[in-house]
Structure formats: structure tokens, C-alpha cells
Amino acid sequence: MMVKPLPLWLYAAALALIALSVSIGPYKIDWTQLAYDVVQKNQTIDTIVFFELRIPRTIMCILTGIALGTGGAALQTLLRNPLAEPSIIGISSSAALGAVLVMSFQLHLVSLFFMPVGAIIFSMVAASLLVVISRTSHDHVTILLVGVGISLLSGAATSFLLSISDNPYAVNEIVFWMLGSLANVSNDDLLLAVPFALSGAIIMLSTANAQNYFVFGGEVAASSGINVRTLRAKVILGASLAVGGVTAIIGMVGFIGLLSPHLVRPFVGNEPRRTLIWSPVVASLLVLAADIAIRLLPTTNELRLGVVTTLIGAPLFLYVVFKRFGH
């Protein structure tokens, strides 16, 4: 099969989006003054905005894309379902439930480290349940419905926790956090999210070569010398670490993990290994583009990233469903 190379404009787009991301915002940076202040080691409004607001936000965009793009591609191959995606099959909502539990019991006041840990534990439970179902049922629709059920159950549990809370201000803060936003990301947030998200992505990327065999099923992979149990464990652990790590910081961002693998596959001949490698790159560009669009929109209050990605991703999800299962 003739494999198309990824277009050169993709690399130019990456540089352009990163440059735009650090440039756009309500405060206009004087770049000449910024360069002077950096050389002189002066702390000014320009340096604070650039290094403590713009840079962390841009890095978090890329980190979110890496986590969700890698998770989406790895889960689609593992579950052998083109509709598998962290937000659709319940991993993101389970991660959010874990983080909300931590906030409900105020454990995050003891240590912010409890936020990603709670999110990772619950996302791991959801991912493990889906893998167990996928081993007993090869029906893509059944696996998808189980994932949707997990998502609904996690959402209901989260709503229950919010409804019994006696602190309306905390409830309001949690609700807005769940919508997904990069507006208030700080360097401390990055230090918390980076170890989990990157380690999870690296674990999933380490399965890239085995993914080419697993796409034909567990039996074929096992006969080719692939340790199927280890492969499943790596994807579950990796997806839980990556998705849980970013969800605990920015809330739920949906459909990026669904979009990126489908955009990459035409350029890599549908090869699972290369899809897994390039999906985080494309996902990062999607998150950067969405976040830049949010900042450019003339709205009184900044839109939430999770809302924008869902508005874009939901129609694609319906299109893939119709194309795959429609008659």
C-alpha cells in the first residue's frame, strides 16, 4: 500500500500556532521591551504575562493534545473500535469523578497531588472494565454502549456529589472546571500534570510496534510473539495516567482523541503504529487551534475549551457512526 507522507504544511502550522498562542491575549506584549527585560532579568508585566500565563497555557495545550491524541489512537486499536475515545467511553468522565471526589472531601487542600491521583485511579477502573468487556465481546456497538454507560454513570455520580454539597461557591467552581479550560493554567499546574501525562503517553507509545499486530485481534498478536496481557496493561495504565493527569488540571476536553486518529490515518495508510505516533502531534495542533479561536472570539466571557471541542467533535462522531454502522 502506498503510504502518503505527512504534508510539510503541518510542520509550518505547528510553528505558526505556537507563535500565535504565546502572542494572543487581552494584554499586548511589547516584544522589544520583553527581550530587554529578559536580558536585564527585570520582572515586569510583560515578563509575568509571557512566562507565567502565555507559556504555561501554550505548553498545556500541547500536553493535552499529547495525552488525548495518544489515548484515543491506542484505545481505538486496543478495543478495535474506531469510535473509542476517552470522553466517549467514560475514561474522561471517570477521571473527572475521581477529581471531584477529591475536591468534595477537600483532600486537594492537603496536597494538590491528590487531584491527579484520584483522577487516574477512577480512569484506570473505567479503562480496565472496557478492556474486560472487549475480551468477551467482539461487537463494536456493545463495547461502545458499555463505554457510554460508564460515562453516564460517572456523570450521574458527579452530579450527585454536587447536588449534596452545601457550598454553592464550590459547586459553581467545580461545574465550570468540568467544562474544560486552559485560562488559569499556571507553572505549578504544569509541574503537577507533566509527569503523569508524559509518562502515560510514553507508555502508550512504547506499544506502537505491537499495535500493528493487535489490530487483527489478540490471537493473531499472540501468535506473532506479542505479549497481549502486557500490551493491554500498558495501554490501560498509559491512558489512565495521561488522561487523568490533564483532566485533573483543566477538566474534561472531549473528542480530541477521536478526531486526531481519523485525521492522521489517510496520511499513514491506516497503519496503527504510525497513527499512534502522529496522533498526539495532530491532537496538539487541534487543541492549540481551538484555544486560539477561543481567545479571538469577541465574547464577554471566554468560552470553555471543552465546549468548543465538543461542538466541533460531536458532528464528526455522528458522521463516523453513520459511515461505519449506517445502511
d(CA 28, CA 10): 27
Per-residue model confidence (pLDDT) at position 6 = 63
User: How much is the average pLDDT of 82-90?
Assistant: 84
Range of the domain at 121: 34-321
d(CA 137, CA 134): 5
Q: Helix/strand/coil (H, E, C) string of the chain?
A: CCCCCCCCHHHHHHHHHHHHHHHCCCCCCCHHHHHHHHHHCCCCHHHHHHHHHHHHHHHHHHHHHHHHHHHHHHHHHHCCCCCCCCCCCCHHHHHHHHHHHHHHCCHHHCCCCHHHHHHHHHHHHHHHHHHHHHHHCCCHHHHHHHHHHHHHHHHHHHHHHHHCCCCHHHHHHHHHHHCCCCCCCCHHHHHHHHHHHHHHHHHHHCCHHHHHHHCCCHHHHHHCCCCHHHHHHHHHHHHHHHHHHHHHHHCCCCCHHHHHHHHHHHHCCCCHHHHHHHHHHHHHHHHHHHHHHHHHCCCCCCCCHHHHHHHHHHHHHHHHHHHHHCC
Res 98 pLDDT > 80: yes
Per-residue model confidence (pLDDT) at position 232 = 85
Q: Which residue has the higher pLDDT, 193 or 322?
A: 193
Determine, yes or no, domain membership for 290: yes
Per-residue model confidence (pLDDT) at position 286 = 93
Above pLDDT 70, what percent of the chain? 96
Determine, yes or no, domain membership for 17: no
Res 1 pLDDT > 50: no
Q: Which residue has the higher pLDDT, 49 or 316?
A: 49
Per-residue model confidence (pLDDT) at position 138 = 61
Res 91 pLDDT > 60: yes
Res 256 pLDDT > 90: yes
Determine, yes or no, domain membership for 84: yes
Per-residue model confidence (pLDDT) at position 175 = 85
Determine, yes or no, domain membership for 15: no
As a whole number, the mean pLDDT across the chain is: 87
- Confidence tier at 118 by pLDDT (50, 70, 90): very high
User: How much is the average pLDDT of 171-200?
Assistant: 90
Global pTM reads: 0.89
Give the Å distances, CA to CA, from 1 to 265, 267, 268, 269: 13, 12, 10, 7
Query: What total number of domains does the chain contain?
Result: 1
- Burial bucket for residue 291 (CB in 10 Å: 0-12, 13-18, 19+): buried
User: How much is the average pLDDT of 285-300?
Assistant: 90
Question: Which of these ranges, 180-184, 195-199, 281-285, has the smallest mean pLDDT?
Answer: 180-184
CATH number for the domain including 230?
1.10.3470.10
d(CA 235, CA 98): 20
Per-residue model confidence (pLDDT) at position 137 = 66
Per-residue model confidence (pLDDT) at position 140 = 64
Determine, yes or no, domain membership for 12: no
pLDDT tens per residue across span 4-62: 566 778 888 899 999 999 999 888 999 999 999 999 999 999 999 999 999 999 999 99
Determine, yes or no, domain membership for 88: yes
Taking the alpha carbons at both ends of the chain, their separation in whole angstroms is 28
Determine, yes or no, domain membership for 7: no
Residue 101's identity, in one-letter code, is L
- Dihedral of the CA atoms 157, 306, 104, 156 (nearest 10)? -10
Per-residue model confidence (pLDDT) at position 216 = 75
Per-residue model confidence (pLDDT) at position 250 = 93
Q: Which residue has the higher pLDDT, 292 or 135?
A: 292
pLDDT tens per residue across span 199-245: 999 999 999 999 888 877 778 788 888 888 888 889 989 999 999 99
pLDDT tens per residue across span 144-173: 788 889 999 999 999 999 888 887 877 888
Determine, yes or no, domain membership for 326: no
